[in-house]
């Protein structure tokens, strides 16, 4: 058996087609995905926007206006929760601010009215752009800025009302504390996921799922070469004293080993170059690779055990099934990822029976869940799949008889 194992490993290493599709292609696909998705994560974060600040008499009379702009334009530091929203430019009048908007130097401006309230004005082009895509960095920044101005104006309105109705209360030592408490937060942020979720991670997990099932082509090729009626090498092996089950077992282990190495390389690339973190669960990810590649090898063995079908047809069938199933897990872009989410919500049985999706879920469970229970459940699903594939493949190989070779 071990002699068959080493021979099959050497044969696979000399097969340029296997080396490309199983080893190189997943890495190339992940690199392309990295280039395509590199700006996707930035689209869900706020970026500082250029605004003009109309520093006229009303602005100078508004209490706390300069402090507000200073806090919103403070640059972010590593490890800090502070987000810079403004890149301010001070102007003397609204006419000058409008001129800067027309020349596209700013996307809007802030000004104070006669009541001391701060208002925001956006250019028409930016308003239309934000309305069409509210998840863009400009839209997120403007939304946060609008909420900040609303909170500031609420405190200022209360202060102005007190100044007119009860000046003595405004002079009280406790009143400023009460006014400031309206802007404080009395909730605590908690995180339900193991680490901070990444927008692009599911796409790379889909790449790993596809790469895993690509390894099934290796198993299909090796098992086919053990069949005397489909391979000249299989015909010669059938005359050897080595039992057929040992030849098949050696081919299975060799294809599993080759598939494991290929997926491990793809995972290391996604983990290091693409920057998809696992929150210290790399040993669990290694177990995921073992379970996923075992299922893939079992599936390829089933395809390879189909009688009377040539090796070329089996290889095309394996790759075709892999590409078709990958289309349901979001590999081909955001619209397909939305389709994957819709399937998970409305027809989850399709994902339950999809081996590519289940392999992708292995890595998803590691990253997004604080508990390993979902990961164990996915492993159980893949073990059941592997058992079914192996049982069906063994039955096909056992029933094959040859009148002549």
User: 0.85 cut: is pTM over it?
Assistant: no
pLDDT at 393 over 50: yes
β-pair partners for 52: 89, 109
Check whether 349 has a pLDDT greater than 80: yes
Query: Can you say whether residue 184 is alpha, beta or left, with left for phi > 0 and alpha for psi between -120 and 50 degrees?
Result: beta
Q: Find all residues with CB under 8 Å of 294, minimum gap 6, and list them.
A: 256, 382, 386
**Cβ-based neighbours of 74, under 8 Å, separated by 6 or more:** 82, 84
Q: Name the band, by pLDDT with cuts 50, 70 and 90, for residue 75.
A: confident
Task: At 43, give phi and psi (nearest 5°).
Answer: -70, -15
Is the pLDDT confidence value at 356 over 90? yes
Residue 90 backbone dihedrals phi, psi, to 5 degrees = -80, 130
Least confident of 1-10, 198-207, 217-226: 1-10
Cβ atoms 185, 4 nearer than 8 A: no
Q: Name beta bridge partners: 119.
A: 111
Question: What count of Cα atoms within 13 Å lies in the side-chain half-sphere of residue 4?
Answer: 24
- Using the CB atoms, write b or e for 353-391: b if 16+ within 10 Å: ebbbbbbbbbbbbbbbeeeeebbeebbebbeebbeebbe
Q: φ, ψ for residue 49 (rounded to 5)?
A: -115, 145
pLDDT at 58 over 80: yes
Task: Give residue 168's pLDDT band: very low, low, confident or very high (50, 70, 90).
Answer: low
Question: Which of 83-92, 169-178, 253-262, 335-344 has the lowest average pLDDT?
Answer: 169-178
């Amino acid at each position: 058996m071990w002699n068959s194992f080493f021979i099959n490993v050497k044969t696979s290493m000399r097969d340029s087609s296997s080396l490309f599709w199983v080893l190189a292609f997943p890495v190339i696909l992940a690199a392309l995905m990295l280039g395509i998705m590199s700006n996707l994560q930035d689209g869900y974060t706020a970026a500082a926007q250029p605004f003009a600040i109309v520093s006229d008499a009303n602005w100078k009379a508004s209490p706390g206006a300069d402090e507000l702009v200073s806090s919103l334009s403070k640059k972010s530091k590593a490890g800090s929760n502070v987000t810079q929203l403004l890149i301010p430019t001070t102007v003397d009048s609204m006419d000058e601010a409008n001129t800067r908007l027309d020349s596209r130097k700013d996307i809007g401006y802030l000004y104070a009215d006669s009541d001391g309230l701060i208002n925001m004005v956006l250019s028409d082009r930016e308003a239309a752009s934000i309305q069409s895509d509210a998840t863009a960095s400009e839209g997120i920044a403007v939304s946060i800025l609008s909420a900040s101005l609303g909170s500031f104006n609420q405190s200022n309105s209360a202060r102005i009302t007190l100044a007119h109705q009860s000046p003595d209360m405004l002079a009280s030592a406790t009143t400023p504390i009460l006014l400031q408490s309206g802007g404080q937060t009395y909730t605590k942020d908690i995180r339900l996921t193991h680490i901070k979720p990444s927008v692009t991670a599911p796409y790379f997990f889909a790449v790993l799922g596809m790469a895993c099932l690509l390894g099934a082509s290796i198993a299909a090729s090796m098992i086919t070469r053990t069949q005397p009626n489909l391979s000249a090498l299989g015909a010669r092996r059938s005359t050897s004293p080595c039992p057929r089950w040992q030849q098949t077992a050696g081919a299975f282990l060799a294809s599993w080993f080759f598939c494991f190495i290929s997926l491990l390389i793809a995972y290391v690339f996604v983990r290091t170059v693409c920057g998809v973190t696992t929150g210290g669960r790399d040993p669990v990810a290694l177990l995921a690779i073992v379970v996923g590649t075992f299922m893939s090898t079992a599936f390829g063995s089933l395809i390879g055990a189909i009688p009377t079908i040539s090796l070329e047809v089996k290889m095309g069938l394996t790759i075709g099934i892999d590409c078709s199933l990958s289309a349901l897990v979001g590999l081909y872009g955001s619209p397909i990822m939305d389709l994957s989410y819709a399937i998970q919500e409305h027809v989850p049985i399709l994902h339950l029976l999809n081996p590519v999706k289940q392999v992708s879920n292995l890595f998803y469970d590691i990253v997004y869940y604080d508990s390993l229970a979902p990961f164990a459940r996915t492993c159980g699903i893949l073990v059941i799949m592997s058992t079914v594939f192996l049982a069906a493949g063994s039955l096909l190989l056992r029933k094959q008889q040859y009148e002549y070779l």
